[in-house]
Each structure stands twice: as C-alpha cells, then as structure tokens.
Amino acid sequence: MEEGDQYEEVRVEDYVDEHTSDQINQSNNHFDQNDFQDIDQLQNSDVSDQQPIANTFFSLPDFEYSKATTLLKASLRISTNEEIIQLPISSIQKITKFSEKQVSELLAYCSFPLCENIPTGTALQLLNDSTRWRLSTGDTSIDTCLKGGLLARSLIEVVGEAGSGKSQLCMQLSLQVQLPREKGGCSGSACYIYTEGSFPLKRLMQIAESFKQINSIPESEDVASNVLLIGASTLDILFEILNVKLPQLLQNGAVKLVVIDSIAALFRFEYSEKEAIERSKQLWKLAEQLKLLCDGYNLPIIVVNQVSDLFNDSTYANPSRKTIPALGLSWSNCINGRIMLARTKAKVSMEESHERIKKRKKTEIDNPSDETKGEEAVVRQLSVVFAPHLPVSNCKYIIDRTGIRGID
C-alpha cells in the first residue's frame, strides 16, 4: 500500500456526538438478560408489536453504526456494505476504535439489509418453479440422459480429455439457446469466454450452418453473430470480465448462457503446486461470483475443465490410463454438477450412426455426404458424474459435421 493510502487515524470522539460518549463507554458491558425476549412471547406476539432488532441486539444506537459505516467507506474508498463485511476485523477496529464486540455488531448491522433480498421458499416451491428453465443440447438422446437439458441457475462443469468434444458441445449449446422455449432454448444469445489460444471460429460456422438446416432457420439469418466471443488470457482479465463487463451484458436480459472455455488453463499457468492455498482462495472467489450471476440472472453457466493423469503404485504394473478432473477437491465442491466426456475405443460407420439417429427421431439430420461415406466415427461417452437433480447416467455419442449426436 502506498503512503498516500495509509489509514487515517480517527478518534471515535471526532465522529460521534459528545452527548453519546457515555453510551460508548457503557458498550463494553455484557448483554443484560432483559435484552432478550422469550421465544414463546415472540411467536405469540404480532410482528408490528415487536421491537426492531437493533433495539434488542445492538449496544449502540443505529446512527452510531451508520456513522461508522460512512467513515469506513470514506477511509477505505469503498461503496457497499458487501465490501465492509469482507474487511478484516483488525482494519475496522483501527479505523473506528470499536471493541471486538462492537465490530461484530457493526458487521451484523451491515448484513441485515443484504438479507432482505434473499429469496426464500420450500423445496416443493423450488421444484415447481416454472421460471427455472432447461437448455436442450439439441439431441434427444443426450437430453434424455440430462432429464431435459441443462438446468438454469446452475454452475455446470464439462470435463474431459483433449478431443472428447467439450468445446463442440459448448458451441452447440451457444446456438441452441437462441431457439424459443418450446424448442429447448430461451430466445437469447450466448457469451463465450475463451482462455486458450484463438477461438475455433470455422468450426462454429460449420455447426451453425447445420443448426439452421435442422431447425428450419432462414439461410439469411446469421445465428453465429448471436454468440459473443470474449478472450481472457489471464486471471485478472477473467475477473474483470466477470465483475464488470458480464453484469453489464446480463442486465438487458439478452444473454441467456455463459461459457468459460476453459478454467483449468488459467489456474495451471498462474499457480504452482506450492501455491495451492492461494489457488483455492481464487477458485472459491471465482465460483462465488459465477453462482451470483447464474442465480441472479436465471441462466446456466458452463465451465470447461481439463483432466489430469492419476498415478499410483500400480500404474506401472497396470498401464491402463486413469484420469481425474483438474483443480482438485476444492473446485469440485464449488460446482453444482459435473458432466464428463470421454473417448472410447469403439468406432461406428457414419452410415450406421445416421441410421440410428433417424430411427430415434424422424429425419433429424441429412444423409451423410459422399465424402464421409465409408468413414468411421469414434464413439464417445457422456456421463453425469454428479448433480443434485440428476441420477448418475451415461450415453454414447459421435461428432460429425453437424455437431454432437447421440447414437443410443
């Protein structure tokens, strides 16, 4: 911290009126038993008859905490109560000269207004919430595995090894969200944040052309223009996007899907194994902001993750490869659901895979072109690892020019 930013020494008498000094001196005493009301009395009394919480819990008048809040904002150049409750207790004591008990009361004073906007309800109300929509993947087989698609207000991780189709699934979802609700979308656009190299724009255009054919969209309509691309090469840029730029985009209600592809690249590059604690803090901070956005704006947020090879004592005796999601247990506890994509050793001919799709749902895609006839596609597997609203399940799929297609 520079010299100009040092905390200014402020005596509590300078901002508290002289006639309240006796109250401040008495604030170090313990709570009196009369300060607490009997539980039965509270339950049986009318709400309008109850005293404000500040009168029964706080040891100082409301205006004392209001002045202290104003002083903290001016001294530390902050503007919200959220920033105050995140301050270290020692910093608050240094500026306000409050006791530790008074600081706790001040934090409670700042927290009460924030709790008023927290939605409440029963589990049944949440289950029947019609505003919590699902985003279809564009394939009936995969949607069946996901019980209709990706649930809004959820932070969903898509993880898998290179070549499993993570980015292609995200691009397909970025187009699918443009469809109306009755077709599995939300009549919105997508914000695609990419962190590794250049974005595969040619592949997006190829999937977009097939997307228009499958959904009978006019050829003149440019669906790819509704996918907003933002590059983030460092964690600082990513946090700036999530804290400043993205909320501005979400406020007009046009963006209905956010994709980060991928998160592991940034954390693997900027943090070493010795900085695991700091990395975990940044992961929690990132997850907190993502959950605030997806819950506040009623949309799903998809985060792409990579895998790491798992080594143990039997690795050399049994050379079969095992992988686990990157970023460890700390990140696993932050997400709402995990979908894993993997390549298998099986292959299927393009003609056979298209026949399977046609049997499942009328004519979902055109016949394979002459160039692809005789070619084989690698069979891949999508697995639901965990999610509070989904059972553990899996399905097989292939990747062709139209995108990701289930073959089960």
Per-residue pLDDT tens digits for 168-220:
999 999 999 999 999 999 999 999 999 988 899 999 999 999 999 999 999 89
What's the pLDDT tens digit per position in 256-273? 999 999 898 888 777 777
User: Do residues 190 and 174 make contact, with C-beta atoms less than 8 angstroms apart?
Assistant: yes
| Confidence band, pLDDT 50/70/90 cuts, at residue 59 | confident
pLDDT score for 77: 86
User: Do residues 135 and 179 make contact, with C-beta atoms less than 8 angstroms apart?
Assistant: no
Q: Is the dihedral of CA 202, 207, 213, 218 positive or negative?
A: negative
pLDDT score for 357: 60
Domain boundaries for CATH 3.40.50.300 within the chain: 128-406
Looking at the structure, give the CATH architecture of the domain made up of residues 128-406.
3-Layer(aba) Sandwich (3.40)
> 245 or 129, which is more confident?
245
Of 19-23, 122-126, 154-158, which range is least confident?
A: 19-23
Distance (Å, whole) CA 22 – CA 135? 61
The DSSP line for 341-400 is EEEEEEEEEHHHHHHHHHHHSTT-SPPPPTTTTT-EEEEEEEEEEE-TTS-SEEEEEEEE
pLDDT at 31 over 90: no
pLDDT at 82 over 80: yes
Q: Which amino acid is at 194?
A: Y
pLDDT at 331 over 50: yes
Burial of 218 (0-12, 13-18, 19+ CB in 10 A): exposed
Phi, psi (rounded to 5 degrees) for 107: -65, -40
What's the pLDDT tens digit per position in 273-300? 778 888 888 999 999 999 999 988 999 9
* pTM given for the model: 0.70
| Residue among 225, 170, 232, 165 nearest 198 (CA) | 232
Percent of the chain with pLDDT over 70: 76
Other beta carbons less than 10 A from residue 169's beta carbon: 26
What's the pLDDT tens digit per position in 236-258? 999 999 999 999 999 988 999 99
Other beta carbons less than 10 A from residue 171's beta carbon: 29
